[in-house]
């Protein structure tokens, strides 16, 4: 039996066919999707929930799981009146989206997966364990530096003017949600390998080729495992919305347009 997290604080914008957004670990709906929201809401109803410990959603009292998050995100769609929707998942949100799409194919009209995960490999497991240890110690300064090294491409990070690096670290420190350790735990225990063959919705897999946090091989595995999935690459690190927001939005909007979603 799945233990469902507390009802998720959810932003609903626009009108039209529904888009259900699932954000990444250590993020929020606003942090991960704010560059996309105005454009997506022009022709769609955008439903953007925050996981426990992100945004206005209280931190969970029990360990988070992909099943529990999937149930909670689906409940957010129900509360917004969306019977069917296109799922847009990023990082941890791809695990949540794949689980929903596999279990509720009648509700999912499309699927967009960016910086996707099938099952965490050794590098990702080590990374989220470092996250959790640093945050347990309250060492946000080291967490910010580690995030800079793993979340952003070499080109982006080295391109920061030297007099702005400390400000960059500060921005990262100030943006860490309280629920990050719990969300990292959900990543560490996830495995959606068996779900891929059950997905029937049109699917776009977007692979950040400079991703040092989640291996690009994970995106290729998603695309190979989902029948008919489209696969595209974007030259960026993991934090796509910071490095290439316009390119990311174009890929998503083109997919929605081509499939009449």
Which residues are marked as active site? 91, 211, 238
Q: Cα–Cα distance between 66 and 55 in angstroms, integer?
A: 19
Q: Strand (E) positions, the chain? A: 10-14, 18-22, 45-49, 85-90, 108-114, 203-208, 230-234
Distance of alpha carbon 21 from the chain centroid? 8
Beta bridge partners of 203: 111
Q: Cα–Cα distance between 33 and 48 in angstroms, integer?
A: 9
DSSP label of 196: G
Question: Residues, the chain, total?
Answer: 261
Torsion of CA 155, 157, 163, 166, to 10 degrees: 180
CB 98 within 8 A of CB 195: yes
Tell me the chain's radius of gyration from C-alpha atoms. 17
Q: Cα–Cα distance between 57 and 36 in angstroms, integer?
A: 21
Distance of alpha carbon 155 from the chain centroid? 22
Q: Strand (E) positions, 197-245? A: 203-208, 230-234
CB 210 within 8 A of CB 219: no
């Amino acid at each position: 039996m799945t233990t469902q997290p507390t009802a998720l604080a959810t932003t609903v914008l626009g009108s039209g066919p529904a888009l259900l957004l699932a954000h990444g670990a250590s993020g929020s709906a606003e942090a991960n999707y704010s560059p996309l929201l105005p454009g997506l809401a022009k022709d769609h109803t955008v439903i953007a929930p925050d996981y426990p410990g992100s945004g206005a959603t209280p931190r969970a009292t029990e360990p988070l799981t992909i099943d529990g998050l999937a149930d909670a995100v689906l409940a957010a769609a129900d509360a917004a009146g969306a019977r069917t929707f296109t799922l847009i998942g990023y990082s941890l949100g791809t695990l949540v989206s794949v689980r929903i799409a596999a279990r509720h194919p009648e509700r999912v009209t499309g699927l967009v997966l960016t910086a996707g995960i099938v099952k965490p490999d050794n590098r990702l497991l080590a990374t989220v364990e470092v996250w959790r240890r640093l945050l347990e110690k309250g060492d946000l300064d080291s967490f910010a530096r580690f995030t800079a090294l793993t979340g952003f491409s070499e080109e982006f990070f080295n391109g920061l003017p030297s007099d702005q690096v400390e400000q960059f670290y500060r921005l990262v420190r100030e943006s860490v949600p309280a629920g990050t350790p719990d969300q990292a735990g959900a990543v560490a225990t996830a495995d959606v390998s068996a779900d891929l063959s059950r997905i029937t919705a049109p699917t776009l897999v977007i692979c950040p080729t400079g991703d040092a946090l989640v291996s690009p091989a994970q995106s290729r595995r998603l695309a190979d495992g989902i029948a008919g999935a489209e696969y595209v690459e974007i030259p960026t690190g993991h934090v796509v919305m910071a490095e290439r927001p316009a390119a990311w939005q174009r890929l998503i909007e083109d997919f929605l347009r081509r499939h009449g979603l």
